[in-house]
Chain A
Amino acid sequence: MIGSPLDLWKEETLTKVLKRVAELVAVLFIVSLGTFWLVSKMDTDPAVTMLGEGRTEAEYAAVRDDLGLNDPLLVRYWDWLSHAVTGDLGKSVVPPYNGISDRIAGALPVSVELAVLGMGMALLFCIPLAMWSAYRPGGRVDRLVGAGALGVLSIPSFLAGLLIIMVLANGLGWFPRAQWTRLGDGIGQNLYHAFLPALTIALAETAMFTRILRNDLVTTLQDDFIMSAKAKGMGPVHIMVSDALRPSSFSLMTLMGIGLGRLIGSTVIVEYLFALPGMGSLVIGAANTGDFVTVQGAVLVIAVIYVLTNALIDASYGYLDPRIRRAHV
């Protein structure tokens, strides 16, 4: 009796997973094609970018031929994609012409660290804030936190970053600005330098998370099982932490998925602002110099990471809510 629904469950899950994977592949395929097509429309001539002005037309033509730019778009796309899946994203068309995969490999850890630190800080801040507001919905704390969150959300990250630099780095001199120490050179130094950028990222995320978690907590707190925990004599802190928090964190997880795009965006801005050698600086630098191969490669890598992280977040619902494991049957 127990065996057959379980098998059925496994089968259903497998079909579901396969369907999801197929969808992911389709999405990534369209994204890569779109990026490739878009960047090929760029009106700067890569040959000119590479050689500089004032060479003969024959020289330019030779470079174009060398880059394969005279082939039809789909041939070039196939060529690029088949290399890309093996990890070779080509070479930059501006000096020092180094391999893009290597540059991305150098830049990615910086961005990931910033994003993870920012997200971590935001979670750390948002849970107590949300609980405090949800404890008395409509109360003084709730209204204050709500207004504060809306206010923080209305500050663009580049402005927030500038203000943070203005106060904490230049005004008070507590933290350095525009320096980066690699994680390998000592974790203390690394965190010290990463603190302000991470804080900038965390601000908007905290506001977003607090609002959503607060709303979910308020809803969860009206559930029957909260009343039954209360009727057992459990205290408000126990109810908040042990009963309400986990069922309330689904929207937070979804939001982390949806907000990941914004997170990557603010990471890009923050890297630019603090002159940190991450993916954002790489993309913006390449965009400003017309280095289309780098933009292509970086956008593809970012899209792959973004899509896969979102899929992982989807998959982790099952852990948070045991009901979901069965609800899919």
Chain B
Amino acid sequence: MTSNATRESTRPAERPRSGTLLAVEDLRTVIHTARGDLKAVDGVSFTLDRGETIGIVGESGSGKSVLGRTIMGLHTTGPTTTISGRVMFDGRDVQSLGPKDLRSLWGSQIGMVFQDPMTALNPVKKIGVHLTETLRKHQGLGRTPARERAVELLDLVGIPDPRRRIDQFPHEMSGGMRQRVVIAMALANEPALLIADEPTTALDVTVQRQILDLLGNLQAEMGMAIILISHNLGVVAGRADRVAVMYAGRVAETADAKTLFADPRHPYSEALLRAIPRLHEPPHVRLAAIDGAPPNMVQPPVGCRFAPRCAYAQEDCRTVLPELEPAATGHLFACHHPVNRGEN
């Protein structure tokens, strides 16, 4: 049961529409494995305003998914995980909350959209149940009002014929439809923050765009902040206000989206940008690939994590870990020998 106070605070009308919503300070997530301690998130800081969208970009294994889950409090310090640093959400320290407080936060104040809609829905539950259970838990709705609201939500996320769809099982829907259901589920209680972890990776290219547009429209309507996690800078382009590029558990570069796309300073950001196909280029041009594999996160390289794969790496890169330093207001990067030096 949620207390009255928490329930009231979820009502969007009373919610302030600006100001800092989320502050992540030097967050570290260490996962203890049989092979040693895996530093999945290794000192990440950023802030997020209400209604703002931040894109977190990095390749598989860069720690971005773990970061999302740690922010949400799905990873907590325990026998297998150690977390340090702070996540302040709406004035509360997420890591200090007990399981009960966390559960009243999840689904009501923070919603999450997962990568694969094929597996994110329980195969033996009808679509309606997925939606009504969260509505009933967080808003205390009865059976019938919850069902009515669920129909509204399905309509909102653009599912045609919601009254019929609500009694279907997940496997009776296409991937895109399922992802809409997952989004409806995450937004059912109009959260202040939506964490979308690779929301389009598992979908067809044509559907990807629809889903991203849907998220944008819903954001305009509900005013939630979004953390958009993706391995693809192209997904984030035009949808995020700011972008943080992650590499090996650390932020390599962060800036507002325009700046980052126009003037990347970190060689890794530059390489990621070159991996996006451009419309104005002739077809069948070979896309630039980044050689090598992401580092072993149990024993990361001593200096810059990217140095072994970096074309510009020099001696100091292999010994001294670069810290984030400003290039301009709100534009930070961690590199000893940044690119594009002469162009700005």
Contact = CB atoms under 8 A, between A and B. Distances in A.
Interface of A: 223-225, 227-235, 238, 242-243, 246-247, 320-323, 326
Given A228-B112, A323-B171, A235 B123 contact: no
Nearest to A249: B124
A242 B48 CA distance: 35
A234 B169 contact: no
B182 A238 contact: no
B239 interface: no
A233 B106 contact: yes
Contacts of A246: 124
A320 B169 CA distance: 13
Contact of A321 (B105, B119, B124, B134): B124
Contacts of B74: 227, 230-231
Contacts, number: 76
Given A224-B119, A227-B114, A322-B171, A233 B124 contact: no
A233 B108 contact: yes
B107 interface: yes
B32 interface: no
Contacts of B182: 228
26 contacts: A223-B119, A224-B116, A224-B120, A225-B122, A227-B74, A227-B120, A228-B114, A228-B121, A230-B106, A231-B107, A231-B114, A231-B186, A232-B107, A232-B185, A233-B103, A233-B107, A233-B137, A233-B138, A234-B137, A242-B133, A243-B122, A247-B122, A247-B123, A321-B124, A323-B123, A323-B171
Contacts of A230: 74, 106
A122 to B, nearest CB: 23
Contacts of B171: 322-323, 326
Contacts of B137: 232-234, 238
B236 to A, nearest CB: 22
Interface string B177-219: 0000010011010000000000000000000000000000000
Contact of A229 (B104, B108, B122): B122
A320 B106 CA distance: 29
A227 B74 CA distance: 8
Contact of B124 (A224, A231, A234, A320): A320
B112 A231 contact: yes
Given A223-B119, A322-B169, A232 B124 contact: no
B267 interface: no
Most chain B CB within a 10 A radius of its CB, from A229, A232, A242, A322: A232
A232 B133 contact: yes
B72 interface: yes
A224 B118 CA distance: 9
B103 A235 contact: yes
Contacts of B125: 242-243
A234 B120 contact: no
Most chain B CB within a 10 A radius of its CB, from A238, A322, A326: A322
B223 interface: no
A242 B125 CA distance: 9
Nearest to A231: B112
A233 B123 contact: no
Contacts of B120: 224-225, 227-228
Contacts of B63: none
Nearest to B124: A246
Given A232-B133, A234-B133, A225 B108 contact: no
B124 A238 contact: no
Given A225-B121, A322-B123, A326-B171, A232 B116 contact: no
Contacts of B114: 224, 227-228, 231
Given A234-B103, A235-B103, A322-B169, A228 B133 contact: no
Contacts of B176: none
B111 interface: yes
